[in-house]
Amino acid sequence: MKLLELVRGLQGISLEKGGEEEVSGIAYDSRRVERGDLFVAVRGSRTDGHLFLAQAVERGASALVVSSDWQFGGGELSEVAVVRSTDTRLALAQLSDRFHGHPSGRLSLVGVTGTNGKTTTAHLVEAASAHCGLTCGLVGTVSYCVAGREVPATRTTPESADLQAMLAEMVRAGCEVASMEVSSHALSLRRVDGCDFAVAVFTNLSQDHLDFHADMEDYYRSKERLFTSPTQGGLGARAAAVNRQLQEMNLVAAGLAHETKNPLNIIRTTAQLLCQNPTLPEEIRTRARQIIEEADRVTAQLNEFINYSRPREVRRGTVALSRVLEELRRTLSHDLEDKQIQFRCSDGLPAIEADEQLLRQALFNLLLNAIQAVPAGGQIEVAAVRTGPSQVALEVRDNGPGVPPEHRSEIFKPYFTTHPKGTGLGLAVVRQIVLAHGWDIEYVPNQPQGAIFRIFPVRVVSMAA
């Protein structure tokens, strides 16, 4: 491929000298340069590829990609073709993708990110693909696999030049699917730029890699790139399009649910009139009462579904936890008094960074869940447990029966409920809100009995005076 053809139209890349040179490969390590390669000088944490330009040329590099601010010293490099880039890491990814013919576009590429569970999930995707009769390549922490041939892994996600070469090999080997672990390092260092992800998977987010990332917010933002569209600086073009379609379908379904409430209200009103008519036989009045109960049940489910279907757009601000919880105490006062429940908040609740409206809804759902669970005279406590210099975990604790072990993996799934009149969406909504903030939520048994629902890591703005 001609150098001019390779660089034409790429973001932040300009041809300074040359253009007719034939490029036979892409290299970023001067020790691995072969004759005809395009050498991309990348600045790393320990060294700078610009310091090895002469070695790359000595080994036969046909052209060099350097940073826009790099100054040549002359000598033997004056005759080499030169490409300038505002970001050579991004250039390495873009050039590698183009050189290999955009291989990810010819695969159903599944990207899996998250603090824990990436390897397991990526292997499950590979196994599920094989079960469906599809040939699947694998890129992960343990190994790289191309159509059944395993290669030891050097890092979770390879450098972009190696990754694109591997994806191209998968295409040649007849792979239809590729399952890839995508680390936060890879997302930050542009290793997967140029990849066309058909599906993006998020496992969880907990404190990790803070030796590389400035803070948890930076860690979260790096992973977020896998799910946002290219217009927002992300990578999830196809995945973002699918997400938009699902959101639109969700909104349509929510609209139909809202419309269904109108005839239900008419049915309920008619049944109520029948129920209140003393001249009608008791059998008809009993049936009317049953219709009212069923209409109320379905209406409650529709309301929960409409709420569940609403997009979660987080508008972060400073939220005083003590004030929000006092407002919720007043809102739920009837329910608390009805069961004579003792409700308390731990001392020194901080102000945190969150969307106040969404946080209030999540805490309301958790408190209502606890009220339903605890016996008369039970106890509910909300606490903020310090987990780092500027982080807490929010805990809603109760002394109810707790969640049986066989149900603990199901409780946050939509429509799962153990309450006879429950909709199964209360905790699912909580999880939606938690993930929208970039937090995580877990259930742990309380001691000596009961439940603890823990939301973490939540950023503290200021501790209580």
Question: What CATH number corresponds to the domain at position 31?
Answer: 3.40.1390.10
329 and 457 share one domain: yes
Distance CA 197, CA 185 (A): 17
pLDDT per residue as tens digits for the range 424-454: 667 888 888 898 888 999 999 999 999 999 9
Question: What CATH number corresponds to the domain at position 443?
Answer: 3.30.565.10
Question: What CATH number corresponds to the domain at position 114?
Answer: 3.40.1190.10
Per the structure, the count of domains in the chain is 4
329 and 217 share one domain: no
302 and 329 share one domain: no
pLDDT computed for residue 117 by the predictor = 87
Instruction: State which residues form the domain around 376.
Output: 317-462
227 and 346 share one domain: no
Q: For all residues of the chain together, what is the average pLDDT? A: 87
Distance CA 314, CA 438 (A): 10
127 and 254 share one domain: no
68 and 161 share one domain: no
456 and 322 share one domain: yes
Distance CA 133, CA 176 (A): 10
End-to-end, the C-alpha distance of the chain in Å comes to: 66
Confidence of residue 121 (pLDDT cuts 50, 70, 90): very high
265 and 356 share one domain: no
- Both structure tokens of 146: 């191309």
- With a cut of 70, say whether residue 243 has pLDDT above it: no
Distance CA 65, CA 42 (A): 9
333 and 457 share one domain: yes
Strands (E), 227-348: 317-320, 342-345
- With a cut of 60, say whether residue 423 has pLDDT above it: no
pLDDT per residue as tens digits for the range 269-317: 899 899 889 999 999 999 999 998 888 888 777 776 666 666 567 889 9
Confidence of residue 465 (pLDDT cuts 50, 70, 90): very low
pLDDT computed for residue 125 by the predictor = 94
Distance CA 421, CA 189 (A): 50
pLDDT computed for residue 382 by the predictor = 96
Strands 81-85 and 13-17: antiparallel
Where does a domain end: 99, 129, 158?
99
Confidence of residue 249 (pLDDT cuts 50, 70, 90): low
- With a cut of 90, say whether residue 33 has pLDDT above it: yes
Where does a domain end: 235, 259, 293?
235
Helix axes 160-172, 88-99, angle to 10 degrees: 10
List Cβ neighbours of 317 (8 Å cut-off, separation of 6 or more): 353, 354, 355, 356
Instruction: Please give the model's pTM, rounded to 2 decimal places.
Output: 0.54
338 and 441 share one domain: yes
Read off the pLDDT of each residue in 22-30 and give the average, rounded to a whole number.
95
Where does a domain end: 309, 335, 355?
309
**Dihedral over Cα of 121, 127, 133, 134: its sign:** positive
305 and 412 share one domain: no
pLDDT computed for residue 93 by the predictor = 95
pLDDT per residue as tens digits for the range 78-116: 789 999 999 999 999 999 999 999 999 999 999 998 888
114 and 227 share one domain: yes
- Of residues 49, 85, 46, 48, the one with CA closest to residue 65: 85
